[in-house]
Amino acid sequence: MTDSSLPASAAEYANQPVIEVQRDGVHYTLLGTAHVSKASIDAVNAAIDSGRFDAVAVELDEQRHKALTHPDALAQLDLVKVIRDKKVAPFAANLALAAYQRRLAEQLGIEPGAELKAAATEASARGLSLQLIDRDVGITFRRILQGLGFWDRAKLIGSVGGGLFARDEVSEADIERLKEGDMLESSFGDFARDTPTLFASLIDERDQYMAAKLRERSDGAKQVLAVVGAGHLKGMSRYLADDQRTPQAVVDALVQIKQKRNIPWITLTLMTLIIGGIAWGYYHGGRDLGRDLLLQWVAWTCGLTAIGALLAGANPLSLLAGAVAAPFKPFRPGLPSGMFSALAEVRLRKPAYPDFLALRDDTQTLRGWYRNKVTRVVLVFMLTNLGTIAGEWMAGARILGKLLH
């Protein structure tokens, strides 16, 4: 059902890799591209100009499509909704990806993903049906995190965070891997290649997802051109030809996010330690010991939360909001102190239209992250939460030490 060789009209694809699949009366042409190659743009334009296709699919989700074709769309983002919906981490990951792409563009003189933009733009101009087949980046990022342990999560966040502010050029080896692989995989650096769980979420799951999205189209198209990164060709063609699951079943399975338990064990343990320790202190050590333990908890959680917010450059009232909320975190699971600080920051220093327009430049440097009011909110959310976590563990250790003394 598949043919991994180039078709007879290989010239029209500028010698880019192509796999053709016939299934259920539809002929799929999977055009493998390099996200940093002028030849790939030429191949896309030539394929669409050939008039052979009545539909075009691209390796984009709705958000990335808007970012490529409507750069101003980001200015319509509702930051308050992002914070309340607990999507700050995926939003930060998108900013990291954008920063990495900007570095590549400056170094290579071509915007990463330009061939995907060309495919979407040309298809719309010709009145062809356009399908966005990639999974939402936020879902991919969340599925990655849920499959990693604590230390791997820390390494991943460090890898992405380090890439945000790196000013050195992207290495030749990385560029060559990008030509043969995937933009998201490359943006996570060596960590992606060394972590099988991460690779599965970044590549294999998306191969399955994109193949299923191709199969579920209902516009009656018979000749479909799918423009995807070359690293997806082999997996996508296999799933497109042989997967016997219904497309909807595949899509539903691959967008599910495991819901955390209402009371995670670590939170339950912390609550038991704090409440039990303070109660034991009052009962056995008297009012003075009990009050001392309670003050230890409040001082450490408030103090380190405030330091985290201060390091993020938060408004004093935003700092206060996080610090006041911090001691109560064990009693309100799912509502981190950083959420209160970030919501206050958005209202006190509301990002303006120019802040959104400047994101592409400001995410390139640490100074830019502090200067831009949008990224400042992200910093306030993250560093305030880190301060609270540090304060909880320090307070827990101090309380335990007092009780054992």
Count H helices and E strands in the chain, helices first. Answer: 21, 6
Alpha-carbon distance of 349 to 314, in angstroms, equals 9
Average pLDDT of span 120-132: 92
Task: Decide if 260 is inside a domain.
Answer: no
Q: Are residues 375 and 399 in the same domain?
A: yes
Residue with the two structure tokens 């050029």 = 169
What's the total number of domains in the chain?
2
Interaxial angle between packed helices 337-348 and 316-325, expressed in degrees from 0 to 180 and rounded to the nearest 10: 160
Q: What is the pLDDT of residues 138-193, one digit of tens each?
A: 888 888 877 777 677 666 666 666 555 555 555 555 555 555 555 565 555 555 55
Q: Are 397 and 277 in contact (CB under 8 A)?
A: no
Residue that terminates a domain, selected from 196, 222, 254: 254
Q: Are residues 167 and 313 in the same domain?
A: no
Range of weakest confidence among 24-33, 55-64, 324-333, 343-352: 324-333
Alpha-carbon distance of 363 to 340, in angstroms, equals 24
Q: Are 257 and 146 in contact (CB under 8 A)?
A: yes
Residue 361 makes CB contacts below 8 A (sequence gap 6+) with 102, 368
Task: Decide if 259 is inside a domain.
Answer: no
Q: Are residues 181 and 303 in the same domain?
A: no
Alpha-carbon distance of 76 to 61, in angstroms, equals 17
CB atoms within 10 A of CB 284: 10
DSSP letter for 5, please: S
Interaxial angle between packed helices 337-348 and 373-404, expressed in degrees from 0 to 180 and rounded to the nearest 10: 150
pLDDT at residue 306, as a whole number: 96
Q: What is the pLDDT of residues 219-254, one digit of tens each?
A: 788 999 999 988 888 899 999 999 999 999 999 999
Q: What is the pLDDT of residues 214-226, one digit of tens each?
A: 998 767 889 999 9
Alpha-carbon distance of 281 to 275, in angstroms, equals 10
On the 0-12 / 13-18 / 19+ scale of CB atoms within 10 A, 225 is buried
Q: Are residues 30 and 128 in the same domain?
A: yes
Edge-to-edge order in the sheet of strand 55-58? 2-3, 18-23, 26-33, 223-229, 55-58, 129-132
Q: Are residues 187 and 281 in the same domain?
A: no
pLDDT at residue 5, as a whole number: 41
Q: What is the pLDDT of residues 179-214, one digit of tens each?
A: 555 556 555 555 555 566 666 777 889 999 999 999
Tokens of 383: 């560093």
Q: Are residues 85 and 153 in the same domain?
A: yes
Q: Are residues 199 and 171 in the same domain?
A: yes
Domain that holds residue 216: 2-254
Tokens of 273: 């330690």
Residue that terminates a domain, selected from 254, 280, 315: 254
Tokens of 182: 């995937």
Q: What is the pLDDT of residues 108-124, one digit of tens each?
A: 667 777 888 899 999 98
Q: Are 341 and 328 in contact (CB under 8 A)?
A: no
Q: Are residues 394 and 271 in the same domain?
A: yes
Q: What is the pLDDT of residues 20-58, one digit of tens each?
A: 999 989 999 999 887 777 888 888 998 998 889 999 999
Q: Are 306 and 323 in contact (CB under 8 A)?
A: yes
Q: Are residues 150 and 216 in the same domain?
A: yes
Tokens of 15: 């010698």
The closest of 6, 35, 44 to 176, measured between CA atoms, is 35
Q: Are 210 and 232 in contact (CB under 8 A)?
A: yes
Q: What is the pLDDT of residues 279-314, one digit of tens each?
A: 776 666 666 777 777 888 889 999 999 999 999 999
